[in-house]
Amino acid sequence: MIQCDGLVKIYKASNLEVFALQGLDLSVESGELMAIIGNSGSGKSTLLNMLGGLDRPTAGSLTVDGKDMLKMKEAELVRYKRESVGFVWQNNARNLIPYLTALENVELPILLSGRRKRLRALELLEAVGLRHRARNKLHQLSGGEQQRVAIAIALANQPRLLLADEPTGSVDSRMAEQILDLFRDLNRQLNLTIVIVTHDPLLAKKVDRVVAIRDGKISSEMLRRKSYDEELRELEAGGAQEESHVEYAILDKAGRLQVPADYLQAIGIKDTNKVKLELNEDRIILSPPDEGA
């Protein structure tokens, strides 16, 4: 579904050039449910904007759903945003029109596509558990219900890819969990590829793959040890809870590796840019440099 190779994005402000992405490589399979995490300024939202066709890469290659995002003309880009991708924002004001009902908000993008709007809109509200709130105006809905309406809108064009930017950032933890469960259900029922940008650690418990971005590159990935359903069954049976994911550092094509800062601090490496490297049978050992190195 998504293939990024050496992706670079440079923003220019006055006489300064800011590298938001610095040669990022990423592959996402069709039907995956994954999260992208990273500190503010790491490049995760920049990547999401480019996947959604809202911004163009400076260099490298980016293919989404078989479409070359660097070579698209403006008309093709508009068609891509209308037909291939759905977007859910943290700020509901970007998703919803406040003076319309929940049903009318969902009908609007369907009307633009020329499909039968009323039946399809009701089906989408049913899918997000809000058919009974179809006639309610937005001020009559909770923050979590508004976000569910936003998800229904994002599904209105029957996209193959759903992008969500901090979708749980404006709701409480209980509602955040319900929204994430909804993403899992949509992923399985519709075979929908879903990419969620977040800093919410709760997501690591819900998705199968978590990609961490640091300084404009993929620094590590966390992959689920067992399926989410298997973990739930074990917990219900009273089994011991183990760490849900295993973390892998990512080697770039030049063999470079970003080691997490807390790992380096744990072995006493600080105030230096050097580590001692040793090959011990089938292991590579990193240790603090010798005195004076």
The predicted pLDDT at position 44 comes to: 87
Distance separating alpha carbons of residues 20 and 285, to the nearest angstrom: 31
Tokens 């063999």 locate to 255
The predicted pLDDT at position 195 comes to: 94
The predicted pLDDT at position 178 comes to: 85
**What does the buried/exposed string (b/e) look like for 205-214 if buried means 16 or more CB atoms within 10 Å of the residue's CB?**
ebbbbbbbbb
The predicted pLDDT at position 283 comes to: 87
Per-residue pLDDT tens over the stretch 184-199: 888 988 899 999 998 7
In Å, what is the CA distance from 40 to each residue of 10, 45, 171, 215? 16, 9, 20, 10
Domain range annotation of the chain = 2-254, 259-293
Positive or negative: CA dihedral 106, 169, 138, 187: positive
pLDDT at 240 over 70: no
* DSSP of 93-146: GGT--TTSBHHHHHHHHHHHHTS-HHHHHHHHHHHTT-GGGTT-BGGGS-HHHH
Tokens 């209308």 locate to 82
For residues 269-285, average pLDDT: 82
Per-residue pLDDT tens over the stretch 70-128: 888 899 988 888 888 999 887 766 778 888 899 988 888 877 665 667 778 888 898 88
Phi first, then psi: give them for residue 172, nearest 5 degrees.
-75, 170
For residues 132-149, average pLDDT: 88
Architecture of domain 2-254: 3-Layer(aba) Sandwich (3.40)
- Can you give the length of the chain in residues? 293
Is residue 196 within 8 Å of 207, Cβ to Cβ?
yes
